[in-house]
């Protein structure tokens, strides 16, 4: 990718603004209350836009258009479960976290089950986030390598230090406000891409809808041999059906809005419960159109390249080139100077908004749930604030080291790492929280029975995925449903144990 001087000016200006936001808010951070939850004064629209920035990573920026370009809109289907998940979150989960003036999602686990379960939740979150941080930073470095001729090591270290710097000094204030900026840049970047495509087509946007619609590019279908194949509706654990994809989406979104620290921390940073709920609605009515818009970008690119033949586009459609290369290629070859720089800034924004949120969340959980609760209790707040900055710095270093390791690993290792992460550390967390929210039965003993059963179940699916078990012992269902079944195992086993061991008075 070769950028014009004007593109570099736009890109560097954006990065400078992000850095200035971090240092601007550094002067406010005189307490952990400010560093972790911003003094609990954020309005709903700010919280909502920051949630959009956090949830949209560079993977989304590249993968959504890529999928729509090569196939149809099936990837969008699980997102349609988001409204139901947010209604449940607003009415069930959010009031719990607001009522207790909490800072961490895992304080609830101690109140409901005891300190040991809280420690488990906190440690599982930290480990999963460290792996996620390394993966996103590595993906970000791949984009940087297309911009400048540097070594992968230099790209990873430079990007990691940049994001870590403004996050460590600025705390949650810098994270939230840079996420808002990054969301707006992401929206503008996508709009500019579609505008360039529409301007290049004689029939404009109408031509996109006519030609793509006639080819089935908007269909919620799987594609085989270049043709849409309808997805079956119904319940099944052996194949991907539309109904099951909606259940998967609902499970993922409920997990995100019941137990994910990145989300719960924003509940807690809101000015009031009303503002926190408003943030969820802002997120809903922003995120769904944004995801649809980036799917539309991929569909529009398909129409564009039907009329402007290109060898890279043909290679993607033929399966000889990765679909995720189509957006960077379009930026490189078809966007005018200045516009390309802004779109690249949007791609960087998509990654940075995920990285900064996770760094701050890991620091918060490490101090609130582990260090201040169990390791060094009763010290003054300034000590915990200094410790939080040191933890955020350490997380940045670990993120860089992990990305460097991934850079030396092959793609298969990366995919395996992702699968194992989702299975082991994400499996069952929703079931654990639902057991706490929806039932008064059971204590730590019931929770730990559910945790152990879920860990055994997910370990079994990991061994199946790695081909380490004979056919007779392998999981008899599509591993796509591991998370869904894992949450059921957690809830059913936990509730069953709660019936056997009544809850102790606390």
Secondary structure, 3-state, 20-86: HHHHHHHCCCCCHHHHHHHHHCECHHHHHHHHHHHHCCHHHHHHHHHHHHHCCCHHHHHHHHHHHHH
Measured between alpha carbons, how far is 490 from 475 in angstroms, rounded to an integer?
Answer: 17
Does 109 share its domain with 122?
yes
Closest listed residue to residue 457, CA positions, set 406, 498, 491 = 491
Does 177 share its domain with 257?
yes
Does 339 share its domain with 480?
no
Measured between alpha carbons, how far is 2 from 331 in angstroms, rounded to an integer?
Answer: 10
Boundary of a domain, candidates 408, 436, 467:
408
Does 238 share its domain with 115?
yes
In the prediction, which pLDDT does 1 show?
55
CA distances to 217, 299, 308, 468 from 210, rounded to whole Å, are 10, 11, 17, 49
The H or E element containing residue 384 is: helix 381-408
Does 425 share its domain with 504?
yes
Residues with Cβ within 8 Å of 101's Cβ and at least 6 positions away in sequence, in order, are: 268
Query: In a structure prediction context, what are the per-residue pLDDT tens digits for the chain, which is 506 residues long?
Result: 567 788 788 888 888 998 898 889 888 888 899 999 888 899 999 999 999 888 776 666 777 888 888 888 888 888 999 999 999 999 888 988 888 788 899 999 999 899 999 999 999 899 888 888 888 888 788 777 776 778 888 889 988 999 899 899 888 898 899 888 888 888 888 888 888 888 888 888 899 999 988 888 888 877 776 677 778 888 877 777 888 889 888 988 998 888 889 899 999 999 999 999 999 999 999 989 888 888 999 999 999 998 888 888 888 888 787 777 788 788 878 888 777 777 778 777 777 888 888 999 999 999 999 999 988 888 998 999 999 999 999 999 999 998 888 887 654 445 455 555 655 666 788 899 999 888 888 888 999 999 999 988 888 887 887 777 787 777 787 777 888 888 999 999 999 999 887 776 65
Rg of the chain over Cα atoms, rounded to whole angstroms, equals 23
Is the Cβ–Cβ distance between 159 and 167 less than 8 Å? no
Domains: count for the chain: 2
In the prediction, which pLDDT does 132 show?
84
Does 140 share its domain with 244?
yes
Phi and psi (nearest 5°) for 110?
-70, -40
Does 204 share its domain with 285?
yes
Range of the domain at 488: 410-506
Measured between alpha carbons, how far is 458 from 115 in angstroms, rounded to an integer?
Answer: 24
CATH code, domain carrying 44: 1.20.1730.10
Does 424 share its domain with 398?
no
Does 393 share its domain with 471?
no
Does 243 share its domain with 228?
yes
Measured between alpha carbons, how far is 194 from 178 in angstroms, rounded to an integer?
Answer: 24
- Paired with 224 in beta bridges are 227
Boundary of a domain, candidates 363, 388, 408:
408
Boundary of a domain, candidates 361, 388, 408:
408
Does 376 share its domain with 416?
no
Does 220 share its domain with 292?
yes
């Amino acid at each position: 990718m070769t950028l014009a001087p004007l593109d570099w000016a736009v890109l560097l200006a954006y990065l400078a603004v992000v850095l200035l936001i971090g240092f601007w808010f550094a002067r406010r951070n005189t307490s952990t209350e400010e560093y972790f939850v911003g003094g609990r004064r954020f309005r709903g629209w700010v919280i909502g836009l920051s949630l959009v920035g956090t949830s949209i990573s560079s993977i989304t920026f590249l993968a959504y258009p890529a999928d729509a370009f090569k196939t149809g809109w099936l990837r969008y289907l699980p997102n349609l479960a988001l409204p139901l998940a947010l209604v449940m979150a607003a009415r069930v989960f959010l009031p719990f976290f607001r009522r207790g003036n909490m800072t961490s999602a895992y304080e609830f686990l101690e109140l409901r089950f005891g300190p040991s379960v809280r420690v488990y939740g906190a440690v599982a979150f930290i480990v999963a986030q460290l792996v996620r941080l390394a993966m996103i930073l590595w993906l970000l470095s791949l984009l940087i390598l297309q911009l400048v001729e540097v070594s992968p090591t230099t790209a990873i270290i430079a990007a990691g230090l940049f994001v870590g710097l403004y996050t460590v000094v600025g705390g949650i204030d810098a994270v939230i406000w840079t996420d808002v900026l990054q969301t707006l840049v992401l929206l503008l970047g996508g709009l500019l891409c579609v505008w360039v495509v529409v301007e290049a087509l004689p029939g404009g946007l109408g031509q996109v809808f006519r030609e793509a619609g006639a080819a089935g590019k908007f269909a919620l279908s799987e594609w085989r041999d270049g043709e849409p194949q309808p997805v079956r509706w119904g319940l099944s654990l052996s194949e991907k059906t539309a109904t099951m994809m909606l259940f998967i989406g609902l499970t993922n979104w409920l997990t995100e809005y019941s137990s994910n620290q990145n989300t719960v921390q924003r509940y807690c940073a809101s000015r009031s419960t009303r503002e926190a709920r408003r943030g969820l609605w802002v997120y809903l009515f922003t995120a769904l159109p944004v995801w649809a818009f980036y799917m539309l970008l991929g569909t529009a690119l398909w129409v564009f390249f039907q009329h402007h033949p290109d060898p890279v586009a043909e290679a993607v459609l033929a399966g000889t080139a990765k679909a995720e290369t189509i957006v960077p290629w379009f930026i490189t070859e078809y966007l005018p100077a200045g516009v390309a720089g802004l779109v690249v800034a949007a791609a960087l924004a998509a990654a940075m908004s995920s990285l900064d949120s996770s760094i701050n969340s890991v620091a918060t959980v490490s101090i609130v749930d582990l260090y201040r609760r169990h390791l060094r209790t009763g010290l003054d707040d300034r000590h915990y604030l200094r410790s939080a900055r040191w933890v955020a710095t350490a997380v940045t270093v670990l993120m860089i080291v992990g990305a460097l390791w991934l850079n030396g690993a092959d793609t298969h290792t990366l995919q395996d790492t992702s699968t194992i992460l989702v299975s082991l550390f994400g499996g069952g967390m929703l079931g654990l929280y639902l057991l706490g929210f929806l039932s008064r039965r059971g204590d730590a003993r019931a929770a730990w029975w559910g945790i152990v059963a879920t860990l055994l179940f997910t370990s079994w699916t990991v061994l199946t995925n790695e081909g380490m078990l004979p056919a007779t012992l392998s999981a008899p269902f599509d591993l796509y449903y591991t998370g869904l079944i894992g949450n059921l195992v957690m809830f059913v086993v936990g509730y069953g144990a709660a019936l056997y061991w009544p809850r102790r008075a606390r």
